Amino acid sequence: MSSPALEAIAALPQPELKSVFAADPNRLSKFTLTQGPLRFDWSKTHLTSETLDAFLELAKDMDFARWRDAFFAGEPINGSEGRAAEHPAERGEGNAESVSRAKMLHARMRALIDAIEGEALGPIRHILHIGIGGSALGPDLIVDALEGNGARYDVAIVSNVDGTALERAISRFDPEATLIAVASKTFTTTETMLNAASAINWLVEAGVEDPYGKVIALTASPDKAIEWGVDETRILPFAESVGGRYSLWSSIGFPAALALGWDAFESLLEGAAAMDRHFRLSDPAQNAPLIAAFVDQYYTRVLGCQTRALFAYDERLRLLPSYLQQLEMESNGKSVTRDGKPVDGPTAPITWGGVGTDAQHAVFQLLHQGTILTPVEFVASIEPGHALDPAHHRALLVNCFAQGAALMRGKENEADPARAYPGNRPSTTILLNDVTPDALGALIAFYEHRTFANAVLMGINPFDQFGVELGKEIAKSIETEGAKGFDPSTMALIDLALGVV
């Protein structure tokens, strides 16, 4: 850490979490914030009034307000790729022209959904959504979280190029009643195109009359989809300025809009739009994504924590950790600033996590007694996602709150150090009223803006992802040229295994 602002923050007194509430009777109200259906509680972190003020200064120094305005105005803030980052426009917020284009594309999506519901493509019961990364993780999260409210179709989201994934999905589907949604911003991603081709073969082999007639393309490259064989009327385009990992609000969200219904999809967008307005308009000291980014910066850049853990104490949000892994690590796992200079300290930590209470019986040992300090985030809902005995939800929430308290408090045991808990371990709690479409929209938009705020505070571009390209290039060269020219280890692996398949 060589930034003078961060060094100044590091020099501020660091409180012992055990005594923070005794030291400041107003701490809870100072470090909690309710925004729509979400309540954020940072009071069990090391944030103090002094560090908050210092971070507010850092935000000024890093021109946070100007970058935020440029982002919402649709300026090309993704400098390395020369384009804007316009996912808020999908929710109706931002540059007027982009908003009206997004609305027009949403209307097109809605019309196709109405046609499918009216059986224009025959009777459909199953949706096979094929995509990877941002073209899969978002829709998967939304459908999985909200399908309990009454999904009208059986949805399978297939991403892995490993044929086992596709085989498992299609084995439970009737080919005559399956709609295939091929989701790819570029419409060139190897995994997706191979899975899509195999899905078509499956329809052909099953004797489905017009296999391509069952395909919908969700893409920012409609020409490529046409070339591949999808009829123009079944292509749902979205704007190039919507990044892959930010695209669930666009036509990439099609399986969610179809399975959950248009009203639910719209309410997801509205929840996100409310968070957009909060992020854009509220004072920095009361701005949830920005404060969360301060906490992230404190642990990663000031204290050097290399990971952050997120536990969803709600089965409906079980896919949230893997969704956030892409959002946070693909956005902010960078080593250079916007100007291509080496960064002056660590950037994104490793995001990991799981669900409570399962994780308590697997990884919480390290969180309580291990040597690596890990800031923890709990996400829970006041309302349960089921109609079983309320004792289930009570036990879930009791455990969630107990873990936060235990991490903070710790417990001494002079007689037996193996049974002592150091405490002073930070956690944030995000409490939702319920896992409804609008609350989920607000939650995801909160994470997007927090990721952006972190990037601004570090001076990096969160909207490119060149780090994923080299592996793809090398895979292509192995496909075309085999083992030639590689190191002995890689050549031996290629010879041994690829000679067989």
Ligand X SMILES: O=P(O)(O)OC[C@H]1O[C@](O)(CO)[C@@H](O)[C@@H]1O
Binding site for ligand X (CB under 6 A): 132-135, 184-186, 189, 192, 244-245, 330, 465, 468
Selecting among 93, 330, 377, 448, the annotated active-site residue is 330
Please count the other Cβ atoms lying within 10 Å of the Cβ belonging to residue 170: 21
Q: Please spell the DSSP secondary structure of 141-192, one letter per residue.
A: HHHHHHGGGT-SSEEEEE--SSHHHHHHHHHTS-GGGEEEEEE-SSS--HHH
Burial of 264 (0-12, 13-18, 19+ CB in 10 A): buried
Q: How far is the CB of 458 from ligand X (least distance, A)?
A: 20
Q: How far is the CB of 68 from ligand X (least distance, A)?
A: 23
Selecting among 60, 386, 472, 484, the annotated active-site residue is 472
Locate tokens 């289930």: which residue? 392
Q: Is 106 a catalytic residue?
A: no
Q: How far is the CB of 134 from ligand X (least distance, A)?
A: 3
Which amino acid, 399?
A: N
Phi, psi of 126 (to 5 degrees): -120, 145
Q: Is the dihedral of CA 106, 278, 349, 345 positive or negative?
A: positive
Of residues 315, 312, 310, the one with CA closest to residue 329:
310
Q: How far is the CB of 102 from ligand X (least distance, A)?
A: 17
Selecting among 119, 361, 414, 469, the annotated active-site residue is 361
Residue 132 or 439 having the CB closest to ligand X: 132
Residue 148 or 467 having the CB closest to ligand X: 467
Residue 250 or 360 having the CB closest to ligand X: 250
Q: Is 472 a catalytic residue?
A: yes
Long-range contact set of residues 54-60: C-beta below 8 Å, sequence gap at least 24: 54/5, 54/8, 54/9, 54/12, 55/9, 55/294, 55/297, 55/298, 55/457, 56/284, 56/285, 57/5, 58/5, 58/6, 58/9, 58/297, 58/457, 59/284, 59/290, 59/456, 59/457
Residue 311 or 323 having the CB closest to ligand X: 323
Cβ pair 220, 242 in contact under 8 A: yes
Cβ pair 298, 9 in contact under 8 A: yes
Q: Is 330 a catalytic residue?
A: yes
Of residues 430, 401, 397, the one with CA closest to residue 289:
430
Residue 249 or 313 having the CB closest to ligand X: 249
Q: How far is the CB of 117 from ligand X (least distance, A)?
A: 26
Q: How far is the CB of 245 from ligand X (least distance, A)?
A: 5
Q: How far is the CB of 444 from ligand X (least distance, A)?
A: 15
Of residues 69, 55, 384, 110, the one with CA closest to residue 251:
110
| Active site positions, annotated | 330, 361, 472
